[in-house]
Structure 1
């Protein structure tokens, strides 16, 4: 992060550098994890998807929120440990 002052203004700005390599690595890992069940259990996936389609939207939202919170907690713990 760089700190610089805007000319003509009394403001100090922080310039953040986006880490494309880290972002694309995380995106690649997400694609791998998303594709893994389809590759390992292709014959069971229609049954799994059918079962998911029968769930109520509220249940799916709660499942999604739980997954996101677990992921966020994992990131916070791992980033704090480093």
Structure 2
């Protein structure tokens, strides 16, 4: 189980690094836009992301 969690964490880090590596200017603009968003919008985006990930895990397993 620990091996699977570490593999998932490593893949998450790889995915997080793709955009800054390929298009750093676009990444900066995206982060600047996130800073301007209110807390409620960010929470809803986070919740949507978590639900999407949980749904994917459900269908894949």
Q: Distance in 1 between matches of 2:10 and 2:46?
A: 20
Q: Is residue 2:10 matched to residue 1:28?
A: yes
Deviation per CA, 1:41-63, whole angstroms, max 9, x where unpaired? 11222211111111111000000
Q: Which residue pairs with 1:63 in the alignment?
A: 45
How many residue pairs match? The answer is 61
Aligned residues: CA RMSD: 0.8
Q: Does 1:39 align with 2:15?
A: no
| TM-score, normalising length: structure 2 | 0.93
Q: Which has the higher strand share?
A: 1
Larger Rg: 1
Name stretches of at least 5 consecutive residues in structure 2 with no aligned partner. none
In the TM superposition, structure 1's runs of 4+ consecutive aligned residues that sit over 2 Å from their partners are none
Instruction: Please report the TM-score for the alignment, with normalisation by the length of structure 1.
Output: 0.70
